[in-house]
Structure 1
Amino acid sequence: MLTIEFIQQHLRQAIAQAIEAKNPAELAHLQQMAGLLMKPAHLHNDSETEYALRLLAAKAANARESLLKKEDD
């Protein structure tokens, strides 16, 4: 059965792969996915999961911003 932990681990790995591949479009997609998953966690008062997903969304966003900034330099 699919678990929240598995989904979080998959997102972590996907973010790491997108960073390694220098793929800002994929990072934006992963940020949106993590953000989308935050809503059900919030609706079920699962603040721990919501926070973990918020951190993943922020990691993807920060990495994307960093990649785009390097492209501009």
Structure 2
Amino acid sequence: MGLFEGKGQLDRATKDLMARWSVVRASWRDNVAADFEQQTLLPLQQHVKNATSAMSSAASLITRIKSEVSDRS
């Protein structure tokens, strides 16, 4: 699996997690749920965003390097 595919899977899994959380959150309305969201899910979303951004950058760099190397051959 390449970086683009991995990024896509991670994006989809995160969207699925957040959609399911939204369903759960509609009926779970206490401080524990709020803490879980603030302490776990929101930081996780930011980490995934950072990771997928890095994956895109790395994939683009690898593609460019492969192209440059093949042009020299």
TM-score for both structures, normalised by structure 1: 0.53
Residue 38 of structure 1: aligned partner: 21
Matched to 1:44, the amino acid is W
Q: CA deviation at 1:28?
A: 0.5
Check the 8 A contact 1:41/1:49 in 2, yes or no: no
Q: CA deviation at 1:42?
A: 5.8
Check the 8 A contact 1:41/1:50 in 2, yes or no: no
1:53 partnered with 2:29: no
Identity between Structure 1 and Structure 2 (%): 11
Q: Give the gaps of 5 or more residues in structure 1.
A: 1-20
Higher helix share: 2
Check the 8 A contact 1:34/1:54 in 2, yes or no: no
Q: Give the gaps of 5 or more residues in structure 2.
A: 62-73
4+ aligned runs moved over 6 Å, structure 1: none
Q: State which structure, 1 or 2, has the greater radius of gyration over its C-alpha atoms.
A: 2
* CA distance in structure 1 between the partners assigned to 2:26 and 2:46 by the alignment: 17
Asked which structure has the greater RCO (Cα within 8 Å, sep 6+), the reply is 2
TM-score for both structures, normalised by structure 2: 0.53
Q: CA deviation at 1:66?
A: 0.7
